[in-house]
Structure 1
Amino acid sequence: MAINNNYTSCFAEYIQGMISARAALGYAEEPYAAALHSFDRYCSDSYPECNELTERLVMSWVLKDNDDTKGVQGRARAIRLLAQYMNLSGQEAYVLPDRYFGNPKPKEVYMFTDAELSRLFSAIDALPESSRVPHSHLMLPVMFRLIYTCGLRPQEGRELHRRNINFQTGEILITNTKKKKERFVVMSDDMFALCRRYDKMRQFFYEDNRYFFPGSADGPIDGAWLNRQFQKCWKSANPDIPKENLPHVRIYSLRHRFASANLNRWMDGQKDLTAMLPRLRAYMGHYTLAETAYYIHLLPENLVKNKGVDWDAFSGIIPEVEPWQD
């Protein structure tokens, strides 16, 4: 097994092996790379001769900054994965109990009303060009509409490559996805026409950039900057509401609205949700059906009580998902 030269401790082979195994299963390295590098340096400096993942070693590293709760939880998750991999590889290792992980704080889910959504997009359309991102006033109205109408995760829209758009059929290959699960989505006719018009303008100012929404000469729009623009538009769309009373929204809220709008439309059309949910799951790129079924929790009360829907059919899958898992 090839060993990454960046790892120097006695556990280098297992760290690299775990990362390679997870990559083969479609998982990214980033969530645990920093913690594992920290563990590797810690072992090299403090336990250079130790070749067993003992409870003493694990606890001394995990709790080395015990006042940093977030850091403790991050180290705990990383070292637990490493120990599990080592055990599966035939090397005995101490597996940290899951009580050190804590409970992630649920993310607030906000569902836009029709009026709020209309005001929000009016504010987006009125954004001036940013000195930091040239031609942003042309890009952002298209990007936010694409995220909404196709139910994309924010980074899937922000990091979309132009080559992944079929300008003949309106199909988009989504590649930068959660858990590396690629999928195709198809734009509506209106969205397709908007993207084609935007692309004709885009070719004049960023012809050589691979991203459909360029933020620099060779990269996409910065995520933090994009979120600030979104928050600015949300505030502008609700000028009569004090900032401290304004509901918290995220760009991700557009994806939530997409899911609930589809469910509402199907229910209005008396569609069988048990048959339609797998389609929505595939379109949105959810890993499990439970992630998709979670959106039923967000439907208005009068729809949830709709007698034409067999809600008991979902009782086994809806509770499986918490808001933070999407």
Structure 2
Amino acid sequence: MINCIFSGNFKLYIEGLIKEKQALGFLYEHSQTLLAAFERFCIEHYSEETELTRDMCMRWAERRPSECNATLSNRIIPVRQLGKYMQRIGIQAFVIPDGLTGRRNKYVPHFFTREELYLFFRAADRLRYTPNSPARHLVVPVMFRLLYTCGLRPIEARQLMVSDVDLETGTLYIRESKGHTDRVIVVSDDMRALCRIYRKKTVSIFSESEYFFPNHKGMIYSPYLLDKTFKQCWNSAGIPPDNVPHLVYMT
């Protein structure tokens, strides 16, 4: 499924790459967002260019202020894959070389203390209602608790459909998990009770949404929006910013 709308000179090739990746079993969701950003970059700076050139790609691959190796690498990879895809189908294209970002800094996980967990979830519970996103203050506390108590990956929680959650038995059906396999998870009684209360409240706001955790439009949460909200809760909790996790990289 192609979630972004493409309209530039590379539209056919970008959509072809996405379809190829998804046919191989990859969700390729976050990469779509990056390719959409690359397309906007091309329209702004190379509106007449129909070839994926070295100048275009290497300018995209320039490190931005305060950009770490991981962020730069994630931004480059889909464009490198686009060049390779175009070459495979017989179109002349430049491929961004490997090794531009150097060695990645080893990520050090953050282990929450009991006090940090208390402060974080208290901050999540204190999110206020906003008309622009009428269910966010309900979604966020429950989604983050589900991530914590069930060990879900963020993408697994974001993709949960209403039909995947059995509030009677307390089971979650996780589709296309790591390794492209499905699995079933049983939540605790406390979590099941919380989900039932949550569902009664959100169904009155997004009665027709297929997603258990709907965004402001009743659709799936984007990784960036979830990561932004996580950081907002983290900062509101007053937890030191060192090694703040990035949920977008856990998708």
Which TM-score applies when normalising by structure 2?
0.64
RMSD: 4.4
Report the alpha carbon displacement of residue 111 of structure 1 after superposing the two structures with TM.
0.4
Report the alpha carbon displacement of residue 211 of structure 1 after superposing the two structures with TM.
3.3
**Structure 1's 177 and 105: CA in aligned 2 closer, same or farther, altered over 3 A?**
farther
User: Of residues 222, 230, 233 in structure 2, which corresponds to 1:227?
Assistant: 230
Instruction: Note the residue ranges of structure 1 that are not aligned, 5 or more in a row.
Output: 239-244, 253-323
> SS of 2:99's equivalent?
helix
> SS of 2:244's equivalent?
coil
Is 1:111–2:111 an aligned residue pair?
yes
> SS of 1:99's equivalent?
coil
State whether residues 35 and 78 of structure 1, in contact with CA within 8 Å, keep that contact through their aligned partners in structure 2.
no
State whether residues 123 and 233 of structure 1, in contact with CA within 8 Å, keep that contact through their aligned partners in structure 2.
yes
> SS of 1:173's equivalent?
strand
**C-alpha distance in 2, partners of 1:149/1:85?**
40
Report the alpha carbon displacement of residue 103 of structure 1 after superposing the two structures with TM.
4.0
**C-alpha distance in 2, partners of 1:106/1:212?**
34
**Which residue of the partner structure matches residue 56 of structure 2?**
61
Mapping of 1:212-223 within 5 angstroms?
Answer: 212-216=212-216, 218-219=218-219, 222-223=225-226
**Which residue of the partner structure matches residue 32 of structure 1?**
35
State whether residues 123 and 233 of structure 2, in contact with CA within 8 Å, keep that contact through their aligned partners in structure 1.
no
> SS of 2:166's equivalent?
coil
**C-alpha distance in 2, partners of 1:225/1:146?**
18
**Which residue of the partner structure matches residue 148 of structure 1?**
148
**Structure 1's 175 and 102: CA in aligned 2 closer, same or farther, altered over 3 A?**
farther
**C-alpha distance in 2, partners of 1:68/1:86?**
24
Mapping of 1:223-302 within 5 angstroms?
Answer: 223=226, 226-235=229-238, 245=240, 247-250=242-245, 252=247
Higher helix share: 1
Query: Which letter maps to 2:58?
Result: L
Mapping of 1:134-173 within 5 angstroms?
Answer: 134=134, 138-158=138-158, 160-173=160-173
State whether residues 165 and 173 of structure 1, in contact with CA within 8 Å, keep that contact through their aligned partners in structure 2.
yes
Which TM-score applies when normalising by structure 1?
0.53
> SS of 1:63's equivalent?
helix
Report the alpha carbon displacement of residue 7 of structure 1 after superposing the two structures with TM.
5.4
**Which residue of the partner structure matches residue 256 of structure 1?**
none
**Structure 1's 31 and 65: CA in aligned 2 closer, same or farther, altered over 3 A?**
closer
Aligned length: 233
> SS of 2:111's equivalent?
coil
Query: Which letter maps to 1:35?
Result: F
**C-alpha distance in 2, partners of 1:45/1:167?**
54
Larger Cα-atom Rg: 1
Report the alpha carbon displacement of residue 121 of structure 1 after superposing the two structures with TM.
3.3
**Which residue of the partner structure matches residue 192 of structure 2?**
192
State whether residues 57 and 96 of structure 2, in contact with CA within 8 Å, keep that contact through their aligned partners in structure 1.
no
Instruction: Note the residue ranges of structure 2 that are not aligned, 5 or more in a row.
Output: none
Report the alpha carbon displacement of residue 248 of structure 1 after superposing the two structures with TM.
4.5
Query: Which letter maps to 2:57?
Result: V
**Which residue of the partner structure matches residue 202 of structure 1?**
202
**Which residue of the partner structure matches residue 288 of structure 1?**
none
**Structure 1's 209 and 325: CA in aligned 2 closer, same or farther, altered over 3 A?**
closer
**Structure 1's 105 and 195: CA in aligned 2 closer, same or farther, altered over 3 A?**
same
State whether residues 122 and 237 of structure 2, in contact with CA within 8 Å, keep that contact through their aligned partners in structure 1.
no
Query: Which letter maps to 2:80?
Result: R
Using the aligned pairs only, state the percent identity: 30
Report the alpha carbon displacement of residue 90 of structure 1 after superposing the two structures with TM.
6.2
**C-alpha distance in 1, partners of 2:135/2:80?**
46
**C-alpha distance in 2, partners of 1:102/1:215?**
37
Query: Which letter maps to 2:229?
Result: L
**Structure 1's 90 and 179: CA in aligned 2 closer, same or farther, altered over 3 A?**
farther
State whether residues 172 and 185 of structure 1, in contact with CA within 8 Å, keep that contact through their aligned partners in structure 2.
yes
Q: Deviations over 1:31-51 (max 9, x none)?
A: 3344367569977724x6x7x
**C-alpha distance in 2, partners of 1:249/1:33?**
27
Query: Which letter maps to 2:161?
Result: H
